[in-house]
Chain A
Amino acid sequence: MEVKNHKLATTKDMRPEEFKNNDYLLRMAEELNRDGAGIVLSTVDDVINWGRSNSVWSLALGTSCCAIEFMALGAARYDMARFGFEVTRNSPRQADLLMVLGTITYRMAPLMKRLYDQMAEPKYVIAVGGCTISGGPFRKGYHVVDGIDKIIPVDVYIPGCPPRPEAFFYGMMQLQRKIKMERFLGGRNRKEKPEDGETKREEKA
């Protein structure tokens, strides 16, 4: 049996040096620390953030396809426990992170907002997949929200349809960096009050 020259095998891979790891975020945090924060308080902050960023408990709002890839992350091969993400909570009260996995429709949108509102501060949102970012393939539909950032603030976007597990991890690590930059005690860049989703939407309209 003759197999034709395989197209996929010849696709150009991304070079390692082209990969932007965004580790400047961490360098920035260090810099900020050096320039301003008190030594004691900022060290306490670092410890807190080390703990927080390595034990992010997520509330998986899995409505469709992307949620299955998230399940694959939980299994042995990809094992998100390595990053401290393995505890998924089914109650918004116990979660730090809202993982929105899958298309959000008009009927679901008020419920997503309610889940977000029920979560305790500090809270984060990751939008996974084309659907949550922009409505994806269903953008033109009469029942699909074209981007959840119109309703709730989003911290990290993970594009893909569905994103590969590696992409999930990359996005989750970005969130960890974001968490590590926060200051609770050391002053300087105290976390801004997150905008209320409602007012944000009204301004846009």
Chain B
Amino acid sequence: MTTEEKIKQWCPQAGTETAGETVVHVPADRLEDVCRRLHDDAEEPMDYLRDLVGVDQGEGCLSTYYQLESSRTGSRVMLRADAVEREGRAMLPSVSGLWKTAEIKEREAYDFLGILFTGNPDMRRLFLREDWNGYPLRKDYDMDSNPLDMGNEENADVTEEFRLMPDGTLERRENVVFNPDDFVVNIGPQHPSTHGALRLRTSLDGETVKKIDPVLGYIHRGIEKLSESLTYPQTLAFTDRLDYLSAHQNRHALCMCIERAAGIEISERAQYIRTIMDELQRVASHLLFYSCLVMDMGALTPFFYGFREREMILDIFEETTGGRLIQNYNMIGGVQADIHPDFVRKVKAFTKHMREIIHEYHEIFTDSVIARTRLKGVGKLSREEAISLGATGGTGRATGWSNDVRKRHPYALYDKVDFKEIIYTHGDSWDRYMVRMDEILESCHIIDQLIDNIPAGEFRVKVKPVLKLPEGVFTASVESSRGEFGVFLMSRGDKSPWRLHFRSTGLPLVHTMDTVCRNGKIADLIAIGGTLDFVIPDIDR
């Protein structure tokens, strides 16, 4: 029995939409029940909430899409629920009791669209100022309604929660984030080791962390709203600037999604180039991860090591794409330009060099007693927590959760190459660090299998400059340098998307900070943040 049929059995009112990808439409009052049954299913527990996307369908209808995946079998399903109006506000029941990651994703949907989730303990704004007017992703939002406010921003120490009582009334409760006698330390947003404009309000008991409340939005650029007024090829430029250390992979995901929707078949050569570029990007990103982590922990020399090899990759990128950090290379239908004549030679030289030199990295840092004592056994996360929090990528794989999209839902050439998924089981900082170090070599291994066999042919198929996609919902996901990056595209048949949403890899990771750091020492907070490896502009979008 397929998941859809199961849902139909539990909830006969459920409808199915088949424009684009299949979406099961569940009435709001049955949502909680259906979700619980899916989550607790014996054969195929849908225990990983990939993403939760709020959409304004127009004409006052707000809805939420739930993308679920089973960590056991990898099968996926997408649900849709339309918010119902109560006391003048759009409401949906919260699913944060089932999937912890929903806590923060529902806050995002509330912030963008004003959907109130009953039962979510924290209904504050997430990215925008607490005194912001209106909800920017609604279709009737006036773009000029919130001018720049240079005044100070107060952060409330209590949150609102709404509960739906059995008799249909709403009960409003207040939850306390920080008590007045808590000792709250403010870390960020201008802090050298938060890797961007991230702010963590941290309450301490002596040296022990009691609670972390991330305050986001210091680099919220409104990319999703901006995309709604651009043509499809124009929207590509934003993806590189989300998680700039996964620029290729992000853009790959969006291109793939649009190609799928438009039915464009790309050439074998382009697939090879894309896969190689993705892996080079992963190595570059992990090298930067290494450099930053050691620098955060007070070592400077290894920082130079990491950048030395990273520059080699950037040179390769630059020759072919013209860009060092942000390459704007993938295009709908292939890639922007053919590879440089020196590309193959340089890539081969690089992978060889990387293999030979990586022992230096381990000698100077991995083997040192400081690294071991500061990383081993620190900041533990369990497999169940990682799944519930949606902490993908190296963070999840360090807990034993096999979540590599390249293995579970292969795209491009990943089903043709032979590679191992790096899995560790302790879930501490050390394992998170080792996953990335091992992945550097694994990526070199993938590149080596492809680099000599790049087939001849077109690097890009001809695509109309103004593209109209058929109506429906389309998704795509890739394994970016730090986890699953997903694209949710909703088209109404126009030349620009009705709604374009990106699954941020970093948002669940930042949300993880509270779980991981709690009851640990404040001195470990920065090292833990370093090993979780998030990039802030990708979180805030």
Taking CB atoms and an 8 Å cut-off, the chain A residues in 129-162 that contact chain B are 137-138, 140-145, 151, 161-162
Q: Which of A9, A60, A161 contacts B326 (CB 8 A)?
A: A161
B454 touches A1 (CB 8 A): yes
Taking CB atoms and an 8 Å cut-off, the chain A residues in 3-47 that contact chain B are 3-4, 6-9
Given A62-B196, A64-B537: A75 in contact with B303 (beta carbons within 8 A): yes
Give A197 Cβ to nearest chain B Cβ, in Å: 9
Given A1-B454, A68-B245, A107-B153: A138 in contact with B221 (beta carbons within 8 A): yes
Task: Identify the interface centre among A65, A90, A103, A111: most chain B CB within 10 Å of its CB.
Answer: A65
Q: Which of B218, B238, B244 contacts A108 (CB 8 A)?
A: B218
Residue of B nearest to A104 (CB): B219
Give B197 Cβ to nearest chain A Cβ, in Å: 4
A63 touches B219 (CB 8 A): yes
Given A105-B219, A142-B225, A144-B222: A64 in contact with B308 (beta carbons within 8 A): no
The binding surface of chain A is classed by DSSP as loop
Given A6-B341, A75-B307: A107 in contact with B128 (beta carbons within 8 A): yes
**Is residue B220 contacting chain A, with contact meaning CB distance below 8 A?**
yes
Give the complex CA separation of A161 and B244 in angstroms: 11
A76 touches B308 (CB 8 A): yes
Give B405 Cβ to nearest chain A Cβ, in Å: 24
**Is residue A164 contacting chain B, with contact meaning CB distance below 8 A?**
yes
Residue of A nearest to B152 (CB): A110
Stretch of B68-76, B142-150, B255-263, B519-527 lying at the A interface: B142-150
Give B529 Cβ to nearest chain A Cβ, in Å: 15
Give the complex CA separation of A102 and B308 in angstroms: 24
A141 touches B221 (CB 8 A): yes
Taking CB atoms and an 8 Å cut-off, the chain B residues in 227-247 that contact chain A are 229, 237-238, 241, 244-245
Residue of B nearest to A59 (CB): B190
B217 touches A105 (CB 8 A): yes
**Is residue B319 contacting chain A, with contact meaning CB distance below 8 A?**
yes
Given A8-B319, A137-B238: A143 in contact with B222 (beta carbons within 8 A): yes
The number of residues on chain A lying at the interface, defined by a beta carbon within 8 Å of a beta carbon of chain B, is 48
Give the complex CA separation of A50 and B344 in angstroms: 47
**Is residue A204 contacting chain B, with contact meaning CB distance below 8 A?**
no
Given A9-B340, A62-B196, A143-B221: A72 in contact with B537 (beta carbons within 8 A): no
A72 touches B307 (CB 8 A): yes
Give the residues in chain A near B291, CB-CB below 8 Å: 71, 75
Give the complex CA separation of A16 and B425 in angstroms: 57
Give the residues in chain A near B344, CB-CB below 8 Å: 1
Residue of B nearest to A3 (CB): B341
Given A64-B219, A143-B128: A8 in contact with B337 (beta carbons within 8 A): yes
Task: Identify the interface centre among B217, B241, B454: most chain A CB within 10 Å of its CB.
Answer: B241
B320 touches A8 (CB 8 A): yes
A142 touches B222 (CB 8 A): yes
Give the complex CA separation of A9 and B339 in angstroms: 11
A7 touches B337 (CB 8 A): yes
Give the complex CA separation of A109 and B143 in angstroms: 18
Given A6-B338, A137-B241: A65 in contact with B325 (beta carbons within 8 A): yes
Q: Which of B146, B237, B325, B338 contacts A69 (CB 8 A)?
A: B325
Report the contact-size class of chain B (Cβ under 8 Å from the partner): 35 or more
B218 touches A63 (CB 8 A): yes
Give the residues in chain B near A68, CB-CB below 8 Å: 244-245, 288, 325
Give the complex CA separation of A110 and B131 in angstroms: 14
B146 touches A106 (CB 8 A): yes
Give 1 or 0 for each of B242-254: 1 = CB within 8 Å of chain A CB: 0011000000000
Give B236 Cβ to nearest chain A Cβ, in Å: 11
Given A76-B308, A141-B225: A109 in contact with B148 (beta carbons within 8 A): yes
Give the residues in chain A near B10, CB-CB below 8 Å: none
Residue of A nearest to B247 (CB): A65
B129 touches A107 (CB 8 A): yes
**Is residue B467 contacting chain A, with contact meaning CB distance below 8 A?**
no
Given A6-B338, A72-B307: A63 in contact with B536 (beta carbons within 8 A): yes
Task: Identify the interface centre among A7, A75, A107: most chain B CB within 10 Å of its CB.
Answer: A107
Q: Which of B129, B143, B190 contacts A61 (CB 8 A)?
A: B190
Residue of B nearest to A135 (CB): B221
Q: Which of A62, A77, A110, A142 contacts B146 (CB 8 A)?
A: A142
Q: Which of A108, A115, A137, A140 contacts B219 (CB 8 A)?
A: A108
Given A140-B226, A142-B146: A107 in contact with B337 (beta carbons within 8 A): no
Give the residues in chain B near A77, CB-CB below 8 Å: 307-308, 311
Give 1 or 0 for each of A49-90: 1 = CB within 8 Å of chain B CB: 000000000001111110111011001110000000000101
Give 1 or 0 for each of A164-193: 1 = CB within 8 Å of chain B CB: 100000000000000000000000000000
**Is residue A2 contacting chain B, with contact meaning CB distance below 8 A?**
yes
**Is residue B189 contacting chain A, with contact meaning CB distance below 8 A?**
yes
Give the residues in chain A near B129, CB-CB below 8 Å: 106-107
Give the residues in chain B near A102, CB-CB below 8 Å: 196-197, 219, 537
Task: Identify the interface centre among A61, A69, A111, A142: most chain B CB within 10 Å of its CB.
Answer: A142
Give B228 Cβ to nearest chain A Cβ, in Å: 11
Residue of B nearest to A198 (CB): B150
Give the complex CA separation of A142 and B142 in angstroms: 9
Sample of 19 further A-B pairs with CB below 8 A, known A61-B190, A77-B311, A110-B153 = A8-B319, A8-B321, A63-B197, A69-B325, A72-B311, A75-B303, A76-B308, A77-B308, A102-B219, A103-B219, A103-B537, A107-B217, A113-B150, A115-B190, A137-B241, A141-B222, A142-B146, A143-B222, A145-B148
B residues lining the A interface (CB < 8 Å): 127-129, 136, 141, 143, 146, 148-153, 189-192, 196-197, 217-223, 225-226, 229, 237-238, 241, 244-245, 288, 291, 303-304, 307-308, 310-311, 314, 319-322, 324-326, 337-341, 344, 454, 456, 459, 536-537
Sort A-B residue pairs by CB-CB distance and give the 6 closest, nearest first.
A75-B307, A141-B222, A65-B244, A64-B537, A63-B197, A138-B221
A-B contact pairs, 30 of them (CB 8 A): A3-B338, A3-B340, A6-B338, A8-B337, A61-B190, A63-B197, A63-B537, A64-B537, A65-B241, A68-B325, A69-B325, A71-B291, A72-B310, A72-B324, A106-B149, A107-B220, A108-B197, A110-B152, A137-B237, A138-B221, A138-B222, A138-B226, A141-B221, A141-B222, A141-B225, A143-B136, A143-B217, A151-B150, A161-B326, A162-B324
